[in-house]
Amino acid sequence: MAIRSILLTVSYDGCDYSGWAVQPGFKTIQQTLNDAATSLIGRKTTVHGASRTDAGVHALGQRALIQVDCPIPTENFQKALNDRLPESIAITEVVEKPIGFDVIGDVKAKLYRYTIYTGQTRPVTRIRYCWHYPAKFDIDAMSEAANSFIGEKDFKSFASAGDNRQSSVRTIYQCEVKQEGDWIYIDVEGNGFLYNMVRNVVGTLTDVGRGRIEANKIGEILNACDRTAAGSIAPASGLCLMWIKY
């Protein structure tokens, strides 16, 4: 039976998981998907993700690849896997891809959205999916600072100290700050991201919005290539992986 590569689009509420990647002794999104796929196919199966989201981070458009040589039709995988997954994870699309498709290497762009609620009373029905930060923000200053992230730059200052990847250069296509009433949305689109990079960018932008960092200092922070030069890290709960494009 021929091997097939099936690309999954996955949505999840990350609150109760220790991130995407398998970690012995911890509940993760990848392990939960592996267990569902293994149950369906009848032998140990690994689901490979396009992005390693942190503990507590959510997704509407994570991508993952599974290789199978079973008789189940591709179009049946969505329902069959969803029947074996908890309510906090859902497969929203399945597409067959050519053998050799690289779920990580073929990525062209990813979009993360960060949500902040600035009202005084916590939004109980959405508290798991935002950062409740009751304060006034200078949105114009945040937008000015956000523009400084656009382009190909070294984001070492915005990576976790534990990120040991060979290159910290990434290209940001969009970094936009929008306010709708008490809600602030920060969209960051790029060709890839370092560990904790988006959360560190958001934390720095909120420091700009509160007047703790000047909007025109982002270039200096980038040039420092030092995590201590940037602002605080934003909580995981407000971050969502919206989509990944190939």
Tokens representing residue 162 in the block: 């534990």
Supply the DSSP symbol for 198. Answer: H
C-alpha to C-alpha distance for 92 and 194, rounded to whole angstroms: 26
What angle, 0 to 180 degrees and rounded to 10, lies between the N-to-C axes of helices 139-147 and 197-209?
140
Measured over the CA atoms of residue 183, residue 14, residue 113 and residue 8, the dihedral's sign is: negative
Q: Do the beta carbons of residue 189 and residue 124 sit within 8 Å?
A: no
The two beta strands, 58-68 and 239-245, are parallel
Question: Which H or E run includes 245?
Answer: strand 239-245
Task: Confirm whether 187 is a catalytic residue.
Answer: no
Of the residues 54, 69, 154, 163, only one is catalytic, namely 54
Burial class of residue 73, CB neighbours in 10 A (0-12, 13-18, 19+)? exposed
Confirm if 231 and 50 have CB atoms less than 8 A apart: no
186: β partners: 114, 177
CB 81 within 8 A of CB 12: no
Q: Any bridge partners for residue 132, and if so which? A: 117
d(CA 162, CA 148): 25
Show which residues are catalytic: 54
